[in-house]
Amino acid sequence: MNKMQAFPWDHPRFRSWISVARACQLMQQSLARALAPLDIKPPHLDILVNLYRFEGISQQELARKLLVGRSNMSMLLPQMEKRGLLERRPDLRDRRVLRLFLTQEGREISEQAMRIQTDLIERTLSATPIDECQRLAEHMELLIQRMLSTDGIGELDVSEDRG
């Protein structure tokens, strides 16, 4: 770098940036370890929870909610379908659209995984007062909105959480 360029660590908000990134990474690692006995990973959980909440969602709607591309969906969904966790059915009005549904096994795995996730949330955040958690969530939602609009992805209703 030349003398005119600033280093990222010299920026007054760098510590916040790194803290958010590290917290996210550690949460994903903790969740992955906790879900391992169910033989699913956090991306599978994201899909399962959304299908549990929004049965019959289209593949495209699911990809939009999870902020992932169709290529990610086209890798994960067949694996989960083969394992018997979900089924893809044609839309009754538009045969080009595939709708996603949990199987009974998928519903059972989802419920177990959600208990694991809820327990992890409780163990991780129980020392933080609820109002402080709410403020943190509001700050993170604003950050998400800014990043989505800056990256040209468009607006996202952050109330529609990923799972």
AA identity, residue 38:
L
Q: Residues 29, 32, 34, 37: what is their CA dihedral angle, to the nearest 10 degrees?
A: -150
Residue 96's domain spans which residues? 38-127
> Structure tokens of 95?
């045969």
pLDDT single digits (tens) 31-41: 999 999 999 99
Threshold 0.85, pTM exceeds = no
pLDDT at 61: 93
Considering the domain boundaries, does residue 22 fall inside one?
A: no
Considering the domain boundaries, does residue 106 fall inside one?
A: yes
pLDDT band at 2 (very low <50, low <70, confident <90, very high): low
Can you list the alpha helix ranges (DSSP code H) found in 54-129?
Answer: 59-66, 70-82, 104-125
Considering the domain boundaries, does residue 159 fall inside one?
A: no
pLDDT single digits (tens) 42-84: 999 999 999 999 999 999 999 999 988 878 888 999 999 999 9
pLDDT single digits (tens) 93-140: 998 899 999 999 999 999 999 999 999 999 999 999 999 999 999 999
pLDDT at 83: 97
Pick the more confident residue, 132 or 149: 132
Considering the domain boundaries, does residue 89 fall inside one?
A: yes
Count of structural domains within the chain: 1
- CATH for 105: 1.10.10.10
Q: Is the pLDDT of residue 155 over 70?
A: no
Pick the more confident residue, 155 or 21: 21
Considering the domain boundaries, does residue 11 fall inside one?
A: no
